[in-house]
Structure 1
Amino acid sequence: MKITMNLPVEPAVFFKQLQLSALADIRTHTGREPLPGSLRGFSYAKKWPNGRQARLQITDMEPNKVYAYTLATPQDDFRVSYRLVPLASGKVGWNMKNP
């Protein structure tokens, strides 16, 4: 599945939100606070209130360009990639792919 959107924000603003979301999720599930520049390769266990568990690994993190991760559950494996494309307007085009 691929989703493409044009957003009325600059790439740096959208990327910062992705980064803050990842850091908050890591803090919630591990209690750790890694530096933003050290997120590529970071892996941690997630547990949802309904008891489901997964392992999330950040596979790519390139500021203002790419944020990608894998999420492995006992039932399925997901690969998600956010690719940011600067538009002529100075705003961002956003492609999310989950093959």
Structure 2
Amino acid sequence: MERADDEHEMVRLDIAFHDAVFASARHQRLVDAWEGIRCQVHLFLLTRIGRNTEGYLGRIPREHRELVTALRVRDTDSALELFAAHRRHAVDVVTGNGPS
């Protein structure tokens, strides 16, 4: 992700990251739920970069590294907090309710 050349490549890698996280859970209902919303998340990310790309290439790899660290050590509370902040920031960019 840190070598992504542009925002569209980052969106592709962003989706691939989430694919990998859900697959690694080895929980078929969770994977099925992700697959049910995957195209909506992809559209959301495209909307996000259409709205504002400032900081996207730098921020997403960092946020994903932090999430992976929490998941690897099985720190559920930190992982949930990081994911909530990750999601909240993206929603704020799309809705115009927060910093870019």
User: What's the TM-score once normalised by structure 2's chain length?
Assistant: 0.36
- Higher-Rg member (1/2): 1
* Greater percentage in strand: 1
- The structure showing larger relative contact order (alpha-carbon pairs under 8 Å, at least 6 residues apart) is 1
**TM-score, length of structure 1 as denominator length:** 0.37
